[in-house]
Amino acid sequence: MYDKNAEYKKPVFEETEITLYLTAGQEMLLRRQGKMIKGIDGVEVSITNWSGGSSWIKFLAPKLTEILTTLRSISTEAVDEFDRKSVKGNITRLTKALELRVMEVWDSKKFCYERQIKELKAYAEGSVTAYTMELEKGQYGFVWTTKTDGYWGCGNVTIAPVPVISLDGTPTVEWVCDNDGFYLSMGSGNRRESSTERYGTLETAIERGKAMCQALIDQATKAELQNRQETLAKLAEIA
């Protein structure tokens, strides 16, 4: 179903933002050797100065090649021989982590977009929802329910009794049809008692409730057809 508030934008690799959170070893590498990385235009590096913080590197995906080239150019000759193996290992691990992160983010964006398009097409080309109506007993009175494939449909119409006293003083019952469900009278809070559309027989109220229920179905069908047309238009726009 087309969501007017959703963004259906085909992902662009050049606009894909990447954030990689650093391990302790990667953080140490960039803390000591990362001036060259920080100097790359468009690459942002954050190194925390407190224990337990999150250090990260952020960049647009096309910058990966430049970052990797810079990482691989870091000289380990000036590093103490004792630490040289560790530094080389951190360079290798950071290189692989950056490559993997770019691939993961880009694949995820493509997958999400392709799934959106697939769902839009399935909805636009699918069959219009078929509704059925059933008259059921309610808490008191009756209710016309709408269903689709046995599940909740597009609304219900309640047929509820309203006790009244006729002009000759005889207690009797009239019926009201609405979408309010069943509720007990709370003093003057019962809207049904002041309703001007009341029916003297249950049979008449049931027929009126059925017509109201059909109107709910017609309204839901019309809205769905309109949404499917909007979905087709959106697909043509973003294809």
* Token reading at 14: 């050049």
- Going by their DSSP bridges, the two strands 198-199 and 17-21 should be labelled as unpaired
pLDDT of residue 164: 84
pLDDT of residue 80: 64
pLDDT above 80 for 236: yes
pLDDT digits (tens, 9 = 90+) for 132-155: 999 999 888 999 999 998 889 999
- Three-class SS of 139-193: CCCEEEEEEECCEEEEEEEEEEEEEEECCCCCEEEEEEEECCCCCCCCHHHCHHH
Which SS3 state, helix, strand or coil, does residue 14 take? helix
Mean pLDDT of the chain: 87
| CA dist., res. 128 & res. 124, Å (int) | 9
pLDDT of residue 53: 66
What is the average pLDDT across 29-50?
83
Confidence class of residue 60 from pLDDT cuts 50, 70 and 90? very high
pLDDT above 80 for 200: yes
pLDDT of residue 1: 64
Q: Where are the domains of the chain?
A: 13-125, 132-238
Least confident of 111-120, 162-171, 175-184, 187-196: 187-196
| CA dist., res. 176 & res. 160, Å (int) | 5
Nearest alpha-carbon partner for 16 in 58, 45, 79? 58
Does the pTM surpass 0.75? The reply is no
pLDDT digits (tens, 9 = 90+) for 97-120: 999 999 999 999 999 999 999 999
